[in-house]
Structure 1
Amino acid sequence: MATVKTKFRASSSKTKEGTLFYQVIHNRVARQIHTNYRLYPQEWDSERKEIIFPPGTGEIRRNYLVSLKTAVQEDSKRLKSVVLRLERTDNTYTAEDVVSKYLSPADNCCFISFAQNLIGQLRQIGKRCTADTYTTAINSFARFRRENDILLDEMDSDLVTAYESYLKSIGICPNSISFYMRNLRAIYNRAVDKELTVQRHPFKHVYTGIDKTVKRAVPLNVIRQIRELDLSLRPVMDYARDVFMFSFYTRGMSFVDMAFLKKKDLQNGILSYRRRKTNQQLFIKWEKPMQELIDKYDTTGSPYLLPIIKSSSKDERRQYKSEAHRINRNLKKIGEQLGLVIPLTTYVARHGWASIAKSKNIPIATISEAMGHDSETTTRIYLASLDTSVVDKANSLILKSL
């Protein structure tokens, strides 16, 4: 196995700084890697091969030496990772190979570059949702790294724990931290599957669970207030309120599912759609309040039931995401107008429907089926035996209470 040493080369002038360099030795052949790290002879311990702080070192110089020492440690770690990666291959390698790979690491050997390549591949095969979540996570990690990439072999628990501390320091909530960690872990595991690195379990000491969500439901009287609010002079807020109410009327349908509803999905008084998140097929009895909202908006020439996606010739995903931001921004204004203590968003309609259904003693299994939940085994067992008419009766009961 190749060995790596850090060495100091003194200046020919005793009053000037010397430089550090790395020496790679393999099969009795030595190669050097030069650095721009400069220090005085008295700041280098030749026996222990490390930077030291001689007596009388000022604060500014000490800070410089500390940063230099950290840089040397990171470089040494990276060099050793290159050696280990070459050792794992069946091919013979030279000291020159170590130096070459250190100076010009391949994109697929670096974590951020690997993630970006992976995201591009996912978009090409149509997995845009996964690509978007990976993009959000890797952009956060890149900000933490100040856009400096890192070798896959350098991804360890210390680095990931430092990233977690960084997220906490800028006020990111536990569930969002967990979201970032779970997606970064998925990216890392893909690199392991491709044998670009060995599994070091760098995410084992950080939080990847899900905290209990802060209550986002509102009671029935607030839903009534939202429905009856006079917004005739503020059409954009009126539209945002209608989208909110449509979600509530349809058992808390998620915004993405509402956006992609098509007119052909409504047949013989039944609205049928497949959840984008779980691919579960759902059926909803068409009720009068739903039709009243649909009749308010002219969607002539559009295949969509709601005017969220306005042009099939443009990027539909970008349209619905842009509209979601706009609608939620206006819903928050409505919530502030009503004096709500929680931000009003389309998601509140989903939480609200479930909370109100539970308050009316509707069975949890019925609520689960109504909302398209399929993540718990026990829920699936109960759902398998439910008749959809039970769900429709539950929804009718809630709508009549308004």
Structure 2
Amino acid sequence: MSSKKYSFKLDTTEAHILKDGSYSLMLVVRKGGQRKTINLGVSASFVEVKKKNGVKEIKSQWNESFQRFEVDGRKELHPDREKLNLWLNELSGRCDELLKDFDKSKTDWTLNQFEQALLNKSKKTGIEAYFTEYIEILDKAGKIGNKICYQNTLEMLKKNDCTFSKRVFNEIDLKYVKKFSEFLDQRGCVGNTKKYYIKTLRSLINKAIKDGEASDVTYPFGKNGYSIASLAQETDKRYLPSQYIEKMKIAELKTYPLNWSRNLFLFSYYCQGMSFVDMAGITTENIKVLEGGKYLQYRRQKTESKDTRFIRIKITDKIQILLDWFKGIDCTPIDGYLLPVVSIPGYEGEKLYNHIRDRYKRYNKHLKSLGAELEFEGIRLSSYQSRHSYAMRLKNTGAPEDVISEALGHKELSTTKVYLDSFQNNEVDKANELL
């Protein structure tokens, strides 16, 4: 059985000719119609041999039939043939043993897993090591929020399972995820908090399958698998009544913190519910002159990737008035930022991330005070409400739900309805003029 799964082969293609004219020896592993070649780091040559009658003949140092180096004693053969053949015998035994272990543990192994286990590359064989490596990649890419998300999920998985460091991907099956879900329930994690952890685990498994590090046979999600959609909590209707929005617009506020938080809230509201982290990150370079006027053009940091479409927001008179206010003497933005959210120059990476988190907490603290100042009865004013209020106002003006969904930035209509990026700008502009 194992002999059909792997073989030793001399690669005689031009790509694998070495400087001395020899050819690389490969271990070829096959499974499910796919194959992987592993360079063994040794080589063999084709040697010209002169017979007694003077006729020249090309002899190979490698015997393709026996899959070993030739050992008939001729000087032209590989000088280390006996030692290398012993090594190949040992390697073949390790391959057989590895395949038996996979069968015994009912592991639906991948070609990458076979290579890593055979060559003792323990760096990626376990799910924890894969987690850690991906966290390092996110850190180097400056995606601090995502890095923390994966760190938190890894820590929670380790709290649930004291043997997690020894786990491989095929063990993270439906049964395992259900037990993890029960563990989260016991810790009081419900709804969106629970979704946060399990969705991150799913994302990592999806990436591992794509990278060839995991098999999809034991995939715990998808059809008939664990349903993440069922975890979504119906969010409280956190929008402000239109009369509260109008009251906020005209209120004469005495302190800078209240004016700062009120104007950031209205900026978010006028800019299609722009999130605080996106408001913190936009710079003067995000202002573009397009057909139809000046626009704010940016990608959401939450979903930023090469495939993410730009969000384009026309700078209306109301937005421009706020931008002019933010340039005032009390709160001039620094480092080219458009808004006075980042308050310490030169920050980047995790320092910048933590600074913005601190400013976010301060923003919500001031919003709470603003709500009390304006006597918003039964409402604890927070940053989320600018986004929800924008969506509700569009809905009340008759905008279709798919337009609202695009405006707010959700990938799916069911997630609801967030940021007008792919619709024609004039449709979005008309809707924004109604605010």
Partner SS state of residue 282, structure 1 = strand
Residues 328 and 345, structure 1, Cα contact 8 Å, conserved in 2: yes
Amino acid at match of 2:273: G
Aligned position for 2:299: 275
Superposition deviation, residue 352 in structure 1: 0.2
Partner SS state of residue 252, structure 1 = coil
Question: 2:317 pairs with 287, 291, 304, which one?
Answer: 287
Q: Distance in 1 between matches of 2:176 and 2:309?
A: 36
Aligned position for 2:69: none
Aligned position for 1:201: 219
Q: Distance in 1 between matches of 2:279 and 2:107?
A: 53
Residues 334 and 342, structure 2, Cα contact 8 Å, conserved in 1: no
Residues 282 and 298, structure 2, Cα contact 8 Å, conserved in 1: no
Residues 308 and 319, structure 1, Cα contact 8 Å, conserved in 2: no
Superposition deviation, residue 116 in structure 1: 1.4
Q: Distance in 2 between matches of 1:367 and 1:167?
A: 33
Q: Distance in 1 between matches of 2:117 and 2:338?
A: 63
Residues 123 and 131, structure 1, Cα contact 8 Å, conserved in 2: yes
Deviates more, 1:352-361 or 1:131-140: 131-140
Superposition deviation, residue 183 in structure 1: 1.4
Aligned position for 2:347: 314
Superposition deviation, residue 280 in structure 1: 1.7
Match status 1:186 vs 2:203: yes
Q: Distance in 1 between matches of 2:157 and 2:212?
A: 22
Superposition deviation, residue 122 in structure 1: 2.9
Structure 2 CA distance for partners of 1:151 and 1:265, relative to 1, 3 Å: closer
Q: Distance in 1 between matches of 2:110 and 2:434?
A: 67
Superposition deviation, residue 239 in structure 1: 2.2
Superposition deviation, residue 156 in structure 1: 2.7
Amino acid at match of 1:328: N
Superposition deviation, residue 345 in structure 1: 2.4
Superposition deviation, residue 174 in structure 1: 1.8
Aligned position for 1:20: none
Aligned position for 2:270: 249
> As a proportion of its length, which structure holds more helix?
1
Tell me the TM-score normalized by structure 1: 0.63
Question: 1:262 pairs with 254, 269, 283, which one?
Answer: 283
Alpha-carbon displacement from aligned partner over 1:248-274 (angstroms, at most 9, x marks no partner): 122322222211222344467623221
Superposition deviation, residue 229 in structure 1: 5.1
Match status 1:220 vs 2:242: yes
Structure 2 CA distance for partners of 1:231 and 1:162, relative to 1, 3 Å: farther
Aligned position for 1:303: 336
Amino acid at match of 1:273: Q
Superposition deviation, residue 208 in structure 1: 0.9
Q: Distance in 2 between matches of 1:389 and 1:191?
A: 42
Aligned position for 1:345: 382
Alpha-carbon displacement from aligned partner over 1:322-377 (angstroms, at most 9, x marks no partner): 32232123324444664554543222101101101221224445545544566459
Structure 2 CA distance for partners of 1:240 and 1:169, relative to 1, 3 Å: farther
Alpha-carbon displacement from aligned partner over 1:10-62 (angstroms, at most 9, x marks no partner): xxxxxxxxxxxxxxxxx9xxxxxxxxxxxxxxxxxxxxxxxxxxxxxxxxxxx
Superposition deviation, residue 395 in structure 1: 2.1
Partner SS state of residue 165, structure 2 = coil
Amino acid at match of 1:303: G
Aligned position for 1:155: 172
Amino acid at match of 2:226: V
Amino acid at match of 2:128: I
Aligned CA-pair RMSD: 4.1
Aligned position for 1:38: none
Q: Distance in 1 between matches of 2:131 and 2:363?
A: 32
Tell me the TM-score normalized by structure 2: 0.59
Residues 366 and 383, structure 1, Cα contact 8 Å, conserved in 2: no
Amino acid at match of 2:295: L
Question: 1:135 pairs with 151, 166, 169, which one?
Answer: 151
Superposition deviation, residue 392 in structure 1: 2.5
Paired residues in the alignment total 311
Unmatched tracts of structure 2, length 5 or more: 2-92, 94-100
Question: 1:112 pairs with 120, 128, 138, which one?
Answer: 128
Superposition deviation, residue 82 in structure 1: 9.9
Structure 2 CA distance for partners of 1:202 and 1:240, relative to 1, 3 Å: same
Alpha-carbon displacement from aligned partner over 1:214-255 (angstroms, at most 9, x marks no partner): 32222111223444555524x434422221121112232222
Q: Distance in 2 between matches of 1:86 and 1:143?
A: 28
Residues 299 and 307, structure 1, Cα contact 8 Å, conserved in 2: yes
Q: Distance in 1 between matches of 2:220 and 2:153?
A: 16
Superposition deviation, residue 275 in structure 1: 2.4
Structure 2 CA distance for partners of 1:211 and 1:146, relative to 1, 3 Å: same
Q: Distance in 1 between matches of 2:423 and 2:271?
A: 22
Q: Distance in 1 between matches of 2:285 and 2:213?
A: 47
Superposition deviation, residue 300 in structure 1: 5.9
Partner SS state of residue 257, structure 1 = helix
Amino acid at match of 1:89: F
Larger C-alpha radius of gyration, 1 or 2?
2
Structure 2 CA distance for partners of 1:389 and 1:279, relative to 1, 3 Å: closer
Q: Distance in 1 between matches of 2:186 and 2:116?
A: 45
